[in-house]
Amino acid sequence: MKFQPNYNITQEIAKNLLRIEEARKESIHLPLTPTVLSSLRESAQLYTTHYSTMIEGNELKPQEIEAVLKKEEHFPGRAREEHEIKGYYSALKKVEEWAAAKKEITEQTIRTLHALVMGNGRLRVKPTPYRDGQNVIRDSRTRSIVYMPPEAKDVSALMKTMVCWMNDAKKIPIPIVAGLVHYQFATIHPYYDGNGRTARLLTTLVLHLGGYDLKGLYSLEEYYARHLHGYYEAIGVGASHNYYDGRARRSVTPWLKYFIAGMADSFEKVIVKMRDAQQNGSSDQSAVLRKLDARQRKVLKLFQKFETVTSQQIGKLFDFQPRTSTHVCSNWVKEGFFEAVGSSNKNRKYKLSASYEKLIF
Protein backbone atom coordinates (compact mmCIF):
# COMPACT_ATOMS: atom_id res chain seq x y z
CA MET A 1 0.00 0.00 0.00
CA LYS A 2 1.70 3.15 -1.20
CA PHE A 3 0.82 6.52 0.29
CA GLN A 4 0.28 8.94 -2.60
CA PRO A 5 -1.55 12.03 -1.31
CA ASN A 6 -3.74 13.74 -3.88
CA TYR A 7 -3.36 17.52 -3.52
CA ASN A 8 -2.45 20.76 -5.30
CA ILE A 9 -0.57 23.79 -3.99
CA THR A 10 -3.10 26.50 -4.83
CA GLN A 11 -2.40 30.22 -4.89
CA GLU A 12 -4.11 30.57 -1.52
CA ILE A 13 -1.94 27.84 0.05
CA ALA A 14 1.22 29.37 -1.44
CA LYS A 15 0.31 32.80 -0.06
CA ASN A 16 -0.22 31.38 3.43
CA LEU A 17 3.05 29.44 3.25
CA LEU A 18 4.78 32.78 2.69
CA ARG A 19 3.00 34.23 5.74
CA ILE A 20 4.28 31.32 7.80
CA GLU A 21 7.86 31.84 6.61
CA GLU A 22 7.74 35.58 7.30
CA ALA A 23 6.49 35.00 10.85
CA ARG A 24 9.05 32.28 11.41
CA LYS A 25 11.86 34.55 10.23
CA GLU A 26 10.71 37.44 12.42
CA SER A 27 10.46 35.22 15.50
CA ILE A 28 14.19 34.51 15.31
CA HIS A 29 15.07 38.19 15.70
CA LEU A 30 12.48 39.32 18.24
CA PRO A 31 14.06 39.34 21.73
CA LEU A 32 12.55 37.56 24.72
CA THR A 33 13.77 37.22 28.26
CA PRO A 34 13.57 33.71 29.76
CA THR A 35 10.87 34.90 32.17
CA VAL A 36 8.64 36.17 29.38
CA LEU A 37 9.43 33.15 27.21
CA SER A 38 8.54 30.76 30.04
CA SER A 39 5.27 32.57 30.73
CA LEU A 40 4.20 32.60 27.08
CA ARG A 41 5.17 28.95 26.58
CA GLU A 42 3.25 27.79 29.66
CA SER A 43 0.20 29.69 28.46
CA ALA A 44 0.51 28.08 25.01
CA GLN A 45 0.76 24.61 26.57
CA LEU A 46 -2.27 25.24 28.76
CA TYR A 47 -4.44 26.50 25.91
CA THR A 48 -3.22 23.79 23.54
CA THR A 49 -4.36 21.19 26.08
CA HIS A 50 -7.64 23.01 26.66
CA TYR A 51 -8.58 23.41 23.01
CA SER A 52 -7.48 19.98 21.81
CA THR A 53 -9.49 18.19 24.50
CA MET A 54 -12.39 20.63 24.03
CA ILE A 55 -12.66 19.45 20.41
CA GLU A 56 -13.31 15.98 21.83
CA GLY A 57 -16.05 17.28 24.15
CA ASN A 58 -14.04 18.04 27.29
CA GLU A 59 -15.77 20.91 29.13
CA LEU A 60 -13.10 21.79 31.73
CA LYS A 61 -12.22 25.49 31.53
CA PRO A 62 -8.62 26.76 31.35
CA GLN A 63 -8.51 27.72 35.04
CA GLU A 64 -9.90 24.30 35.98
CA ILE A 65 -7.34 22.60 33.76
CA GLU A 66 -4.54 24.55 35.42
CA ALA A 67 -5.83 23.47 38.85
CA VAL A 68 -5.91 19.82 37.73
CA LEU A 69 -2.38 19.95 36.31
CA LYS A 70 -1.02 21.57 39.46
CA LYS A 71 -2.90 18.98 41.55
CA GLU A 72 -4.60 21.78 43.42
CA GLU A 73 -8.17 20.68 42.80
CA HIS A 74 -10.26 17.65 41.91
CA PHE A 75 -13.67 17.86 40.20
CA PRO A 76 -16.03 15.08 41.37
CA GLY A 77 -17.86 13.30 38.60
CA ARG A 78 -15.44 14.55 35.94
CA ALA A 79 -12.69 11.95 36.25
CA ARG A 80 -12.73 11.16 32.51
CA GLU A 81 -12.14 14.81 31.63
CA GLU A 82 -9.34 15.08 34.18
CA HIS A 83 -7.70 11.95 32.76
CA GLU A 84 -7.86 13.41 29.24
CA ILE A 85 -6.24 16.65 30.42
CA LYS A 86 -3.42 14.91 32.26
CA GLY A 87 -2.77 12.54 29.38
CA TYR A 88 -2.70 15.23 26.72
CA TYR A 89 -0.48 17.54 28.76
CA SER A 90 2.03 14.75 29.48
CA ALA A 91 2.09 13.81 25.80
CA LEU A 92 2.62 17.45 24.80
CA LYS A 93 5.60 17.74 27.17
CA LYS A 94 7.04 14.55 25.70
CA VAL A 95 6.63 15.96 22.18
CA GLU A 96 8.71 18.99 23.20
CA GLU A 97 11.34 16.73 24.75
CA TRP A 98 11.54 14.57 21.62
CA ALA A 99 11.79 17.65 19.41
CA ALA A 100 14.64 19.03 21.53
CA ALA A 101 16.44 15.69 21.23
CA LYS A 102 15.83 15.57 17.44
CA LYS A 103 14.16 12.17 17.81
CA GLU A 104 13.23 10.46 14.55
CA ILE A 105 9.55 9.64 14.23
CA THR A 106 8.93 5.91 13.98
CA GLU A 107 5.86 3.76 14.45
CA GLN A 108 7.12 3.09 17.97
CA THR A 109 7.22 6.84 18.60
CA ILE A 110 3.59 7.16 17.50
CA ARG A 111 2.48 4.19 19.60
CA THR A 112 4.19 5.70 22.64
CA LEU A 113 2.59 9.06 21.92
CA HIS A 114 -0.86 7.46 21.88
CA ALA A 115 -0.12 5.61 25.12
CA LEU A 116 0.77 8.93 26.77
CA VAL A 117 -2.43 10.52 25.48
CA MET A 118 -4.45 7.73 27.06
CA GLY A 119 -2.22 7.37 30.13
CA ASN A 120 -3.82 9.76 32.66
CA GLY A 121 -0.58 11.70 33.09
CA ARG A 122 1.71 8.68 33.50
CA LEU A 123 5.19 9.31 32.12
CA ARG A 124 6.16 5.65 31.81
CA VAL A 125 3.88 3.84 29.40
CA LYS A 126 3.94 0.86 27.07
CA PRO A 127 3.45 1.69 23.37
CA THR A 128 -0.15 1.00 22.35
CA PRO A 129 -0.70 -1.69 19.69
CA TYR A 130 -2.95 -0.77 16.80
CA ARG A 131 -6.61 -1.74 16.94
CA ASP A 132 -7.45 -5.36 16.19
CA GLY A 133 -11.00 -4.77 14.99
CA GLN A 134 -13.19 -2.31 13.10
CA ASN A 135 -13.88 1.10 14.58
CA VAL A 136 -17.03 2.64 13.13
CA ILE A 137 -17.39 6.39 13.78
CA ARG A 138 -21.01 7.44 14.30
CA ASP A 139 -22.85 10.74 14.63
CA SER A 140 -23.32 11.30 18.37
CA ARG A 141 -26.93 12.44 17.84
CA THR A 142 -28.35 10.28 15.05
CA ARG A 143 -26.00 7.27 15.52
CA SER A 144 -25.66 7.07 11.74
CA ILE A 145 -22.28 6.03 10.35
CA VAL A 146 -20.03 9.01 9.66
CA TYR A 147 -16.91 7.13 8.72
CA MET A 148 -15.77 3.52 8.43
CA PRO A 149 -11.95 3.48 8.47
CA PRO A 150 -9.75 0.80 6.91
CA GLU A 151 -10.02 -2.72 8.27
CA ALA A 152 -7.70 -3.72 11.11
CA LYS A 153 -5.71 -6.04 8.83
CA ASP A 154 -4.64 -3.03 6.73
CA VAL A 155 -3.78 -0.62 9.55
CA SER A 156 -0.19 -1.76 10.15
CA ALA A 157 0.77 -1.52 6.46
CA LEU A 158 -0.89 1.89 6.10
CA MET A 159 0.91 3.25 9.17
CA LYS A 160 4.23 1.91 7.95
CA THR A 161 3.87 3.55 4.54
CA MET A 162 2.77 6.84 6.12
CA VAL A 163 5.83 6.95 8.38
CA CYS A 164 8.18 6.01 5.52
CA TRP A 165 6.66 8.68 3.28
CA MET A 166 6.91 11.29 6.06
CA ASN A 167 10.60 10.60 6.68
CA ASP A 168 11.43 10.55 2.95
CA ALA A 169 9.49 13.71 1.99
CA LYS A 170 12.59 15.91 1.90
CA LYS A 171 11.54 18.17 -0.99
CA ILE A 172 8.06 19.00 0.32
CA PRO A 173 7.61 22.03 2.64
CA ILE A 174 7.39 20.91 6.26
CA PRO A 175 3.96 22.55 6.84
CA ILE A 176 2.57 20.55 3.91
CA VAL A 177 4.11 17.33 5.26
CA ALA A 178 2.62 18.02 8.71
CA GLY A 179 -0.82 18.68 7.25
CA LEU A 180 -0.77 15.52 5.16
CA VAL A 181 0.40 13.39 8.10
CA HIS A 182 -2.44 14.80 10.22
CA TYR A 183 -4.97 13.92 7.54
CA GLN A 184 -3.60 10.45 6.85
CA PHE A 185 -3.42 9.52 10.54
CA ALA A 186 -7.07 10.55 10.96
CA THR A 187 -7.87 8.55 7.83
CA ILE A 188 -6.24 5.37 9.08
CA HIS A 189 -7.75 5.84 12.55
CA PRO A 190 -5.37 3.23 14.00
CA TYR A 191 -6.93 3.19 17.49
CA TYR A 192 -10.36 2.77 19.01
CA ASP A 193 -10.02 6.06 20.90
CA GLY A 194 -7.67 9.05 21.08
CA ASN A 195 -7.05 9.32 17.34
CA GLY A 196 -7.82 13.06 17.06
CA ARG A 197 -5.62 14.05 20.01
CA THR A 198 -2.77 11.86 18.79
CA ALA A 199 -3.05 13.25 15.26
CA ARG A 200 -2.78 16.83 16.54
CA LEU A 201 0.22 16.00 18.73
CA LEU A 202 1.94 14.12 15.91
CA THR A 203 1.43 17.17 13.70
CA THR A 204 3.09 19.35 16.35
CA LEU A 205 6.05 16.94 16.57
CA VAL A 206 6.53 16.98 12.78
CA LEU A 207 6.52 20.79 12.78
CA HIS A 208 8.89 21.15 15.73
CA LEU A 209 11.37 18.66 14.32
CA GLY A 210 11.23 20.52 11.01
CA GLY A 211 12.17 23.84 12.62
CA TYR A 212 8.62 25.22 12.88
CA ASP A 213 8.42 25.37 16.67
CA LEU A 214 8.33 29.19 17.10
CA LYS A 215 9.82 28.69 20.59
CA GLY A 216 6.82 26.51 21.49
CA LEU A 217 4.50 29.52 21.69
CA TYR A 218 1.77 28.76 19.16
CA SER A 219 -1.36 26.64 19.41
CA LEU A 220 -2.88 25.20 16.25
CA GLU A 221 -5.48 23.60 18.48
CA GLU A 222 -6.86 27.02 19.36
CA TYR A 223 -7.40 27.73 15.68
CA TYR A 224 -9.12 24.35 15.20
CA ALA A 225 -11.43 24.95 18.17
CA ARG A 226 -12.33 28.48 17.08
CA HIS A 227 -13.06 27.26 13.55
CA LEU A 228 -14.44 23.86 14.49
CA HIS A 229 -17.04 23.62 11.72
CA GLY A 230 -14.29 24.29 9.19
CA TYR A 231 -12.08 21.68 10.87
CA TYR A 232 -14.66 18.92 10.51
CA GLU A 233 -15.67 20.04 7.05
CA ALA A 234 -12.09 20.15 5.78
CA ILE A 235 -11.07 16.82 7.27
CA GLY A 236 -14.35 15.17 6.20
CA VAL A 237 -14.59 11.99 4.24
CA GLY A 238 -16.20 13.05 0.99
CA ALA A 239 -19.03 11.35 -0.83
CA SER A 240 -18.75 7.95 0.86
CA HIS A 241 -18.37 7.05 4.52
CA ASN A 242 -16.34 3.96 3.61
CA TYR A 243 -12.54 4.35 3.42
CA TYR A 244 -12.21 2.04 0.43
CA ASP A 245 -15.00 3.75 -1.53
CA GLY A 246 -14.22 7.41 -0.87
CA ARG A 247 -11.61 8.83 1.41
CA ALA A 248 -8.61 6.85 0.11
CA ARG A 249 -8.79 8.70 -3.23
CA ARG A 250 -10.18 12.05 -2.13
CA SER A 251 -8.26 15.26 -2.87
CA VAL A 252 -6.63 16.62 0.29
CA THR A 253 -6.40 20.18 -1.06
CA PRO A 254 -9.41 21.51 0.94
CA TRP A 255 -7.83 20.22 4.16
CA LEU A 256 -4.45 21.74 3.30
CA LYS A 257 -6.10 25.12 2.64
CA TYR A 258 -7.62 25.02 6.11
CA PHE A 259 -4.49 23.68 7.82
CA ILE A 260 -1.99 26.09 6.25
CA ALA A 261 -4.28 29.08 6.88
CA GLY A 262 -4.50 27.98 10.51
CA MET A 263 -0.72 27.77 10.79
CA ALA A 264 -0.32 31.24 9.30
CA ASP A 265 -2.87 32.76 11.71
CA SER A 266 -1.35 30.97 14.71
CA PHE A 267 2.19 32.04 13.82
CA GLU A 268 1.20 35.66 13.34
CA LYS A 269 -0.50 35.68 16.75
CA VAL A 270 2.80 34.63 18.30
CA ILE A 271 4.59 37.52 16.59
CA VAL A 272 2.06 39.96 18.05
CA LYS A 273 2.71 38.58 21.55
CA MET A 274 6.47 38.80 21.06
CA ARG A 275 6.23 42.39 19.82
CA ASP A 276 4.09 43.32 22.83
CA ALA A 277 6.68 41.77 25.16
CA GLN A 278 9.41 43.77 23.44
CA GLN A 279 7.48 47.03 23.79
CA ASN A 280 6.87 46.29 27.49
CA GLY A 281 10.56 46.45 28.19
CA SER A 282 11.95 42.96 27.62
CA SER A 283 15.67 43.44 27.08
CA ASP A 284 17.38 41.73 24.19
CA GLN A 285 18.97 38.58 25.58
CA SER A 286 18.44 36.54 22.44
CA ALA A 287 22.16 36.27 21.66
CA VAL A 288 22.80 34.53 24.97
CA LEU A 289 19.63 32.45 24.72
CA ARG A 290 20.63 31.13 21.29
CA LYS A 291 23.65 29.48 22.90
CA LEU A 292 21.37 27.31 25.02
CA ASP A 293 19.57 24.17 23.94
CA ALA A 294 15.91 23.50 24.79
CA ARG A 295 16.71 21.67 28.02
CA GLN A 296 18.97 24.41 29.28
CA ARG A 297 16.31 27.01 28.57
CA LYS A 298 13.82 24.96 30.53
CA VAL A 299 16.22 24.70 33.48
CA LEU A 300 16.23 28.51 33.73
CA LYS A 301 12.73 28.21 35.24
CA LEU A 302 14.22 26.44 38.26
CA PHE A 303 16.62 29.29 38.85
CA GLN A 304 13.74 31.73 38.96
CA LYS A 305 12.81 29.99 42.25
CA PHE A 306 16.13 28.70 43.58
CA GLU A 307 19.64 30.13 43.75
CA THR A 308 21.11 26.62 43.52
CA VAL A 309 19.65 23.31 42.32
CA THR A 310 20.48 19.64 42.73
CA SER A 311 20.78 16.86 40.19
CA GLN A 312 17.61 15.40 41.75
CA GLN A 313 15.69 18.55 40.81
CA ILE A 314 17.05 18.29 37.27
CA GLY A 315 15.97 14.65 37.15
CA LYS A 316 12.46 15.49 38.31
CA LEU A 317 12.15 18.27 35.73
CA PHE A 318 13.02 15.95 32.82
CA ASP A 319 11.99 12.58 34.27
CA PHE A 320 15.62 11.40 34.19
CA GLN A 321 17.11 8.47 36.04
CA PRO A 322 19.60 9.57 38.80
CA ARG A 323 22.65 8.52 36.80
CA THR A 324 21.46 10.48 33.75
CA SER A 325 20.81 13.58 35.88
CA THR A 326 24.31 13.45 37.35
CA HIS A 327 25.83 13.00 33.89
CA VAL A 328 23.87 15.95 32.43
CA CYS A 329 24.88 18.25 35.32
CA SER A 330 28.52 17.22 34.93
CA ASN A 331 28.42 18.02 31.20
CA TRP A 332 26.83 21.41 31.84
CA VAL A 333 29.65 22.26 34.26
CA LYS A 334 32.19 21.38 31.54
CA GLU A 335 30.28 23.51 29.02
CA GLY A 336 30.26 26.50 31.37
CA PHE A 337 26.51 26.57 31.87
CA PHE A 338 26.67 25.39 35.51
CA GLU A 339 29.11 25.95 38.33
CA ALA A 340 29.40 23.28 41.04
CA VAL A 341 28.76 24.43 44.59
CA GLY A 342 30.35 22.36 47.40
CA SER A 343 33.12 19.81 47.27
CA SER A 344 31.08 16.77 48.34
CA ASN A 345 29.64 14.69 45.50
CA LYS A 346 26.79 13.58 47.76
CA ASN A 347 25.56 17.07 48.59
CA ARG A 348 26.70 18.85 45.47
CA LYS A 349 24.55 21.65 44.17
CA TYR A 350 24.76 23.76 41.06
CA LYS A 351 24.30 27.40 40.21
CA LEU A 352 24.23 29.21 36.89
CA SER A 353 27.59 30.46 35.70
CA ALA A 354 28.06 34.21 35.80
CA SER A 355 27.45 34.68 32.06
CA TYR A 356 23.97 33.16 32.35
CA GLU A 357 22.86 34.50 35.72
CA LYS A 358 21.66 37.74 34.15
CA LEU A 359 19.07 35.79 32.17
CA ILE A 360 16.87 35.19 35.20
CA PHE A 361 16.61 38.78 36.41
Q: What CATH number labels 292-360?
A: 1.10.10.10
What is the architecture, at CATH level 2, of domain 11-278?
Orthogonal Bundle (1.10)
Contact (CB, 8 A) for 185 and 199? yes
pLDDT tens sequence across 20-60: 999 999 888 776 666 677 777 888 888 899 999 998 888 89
CA dihedral 252, 139, 185, 87 (to 10 degrees): 140
CA count, 13 A, side-chain hemisphere, 165: 20
> According to the model, what pLDDT value does residue 147 have?
86
For the chain, give the number of residues.
Answer: 361
Task: State yes or no: pLDDT of 288 exceeds 80.
Answer: no
Contact (CB, 8 A) for 332 and 326? no
Q: Which residue has the higher pLDDT, 32 or 128?
A: 128
Query: Do β-strands 349-352 and 338-341 pair in parallel, antiparallel, or remain unpaired?
Result: antiparallel
Write out the E strands in the chain. 137-138, 145-147, 338-341, 349-352
Sequence spans of domains, the chain: 11-278, 292-360
> According to the model, what pLDDT value does residue 284 have?
54
Question: Rounded to the nearest 5°, which phi and psi values hold at 309?
Answer: -135, 165
